A and B are shown apart, each in its own frame.
Chain A
């Protein structure tokens, strides 16, 4: 349960001001608000989280628990650093000919590949007893954080305190990352 909660919170915070939120708005512009778009988002996020957790579980077999802890600290520091900046250009296009579900799924998967949330889920799964819980928690956290963009649509940046949440999230990740690094290296 520890992995479920920690990855839920990590993904919930990490997705604030992320490129995936940009992708949600682009999908709304391209396809309108629809069930297939929401399902494509959920499927893309779940696929990414499952892949990260599987990789984390694989890595856990190769490294010590302390190294896995240090990896978590690095993931937190990297996420905190990335959150200091607003999202850049989307890496992907929404291919209209694929239809709303498949286009959103593919775009969400590609956009989320290698981003801060995936690294966090990977690191948390590496030290979890049940890595699947890290994937489930990460998926739920990312979905919850994308709901405001999905529901508010064009009003999202006006009605959601995006900059404040992104900066607070960055500060929190950096602080916890520094403390965890120092504790893992037995410096405190």
Chain B
């Protein structure tokens, strides 16, 4: 919860999105791949509706990675970047692409 409050205070992001990301990060080891996909997709839809294009792009990429690699998908890396993406509300999809590039560097 401290993380959620920190994100909200520092970046002005909506509490619900921050909470969803935090919960996803907390529960990712316990959830089935199907449930992870479901929650990630809900996050993507909500982020897109709220104008968080970068976050929606990352959530979409996490969904793709889960579909492709299942449990082996690097969920933690995407969660970290999604927390960053909350602060990129005004930057559009280009910010999402830059954050995805950061994920690729971490996986290189």
Contact = CB atoms under 8 A, between A and B. Distances in A.
A29 B102 contact: yes
A36 interface: no
B10 to A, nearest CB: 7
Interface string B52-74: 00100000000000000000000
Nearest to B85: A29
A147 interface: no
A157 B107 CA distance: 10
B105 A86 contact: yes
B105 A29 contact: no
A115 to B, nearest CB: 15
B10 A95 contact: yes
A87 B106 contact: yes
Interface string A129-156: 0000000000000000000000001111
Contacts of B104: 157-158
A166 B104 CA distance: 14
Interface of A: 17, 21-22, 25-26, 28-32, 86-89, 93-97, 153-158, 162-163, 166
6 contacts: A17-B105, A29-B85, A86-B108, A88-B106, A93-B87, A158-B104
Interface of B: 10-11, 54, 80, 84-85, 87-88, 91, 94-102, 104-108
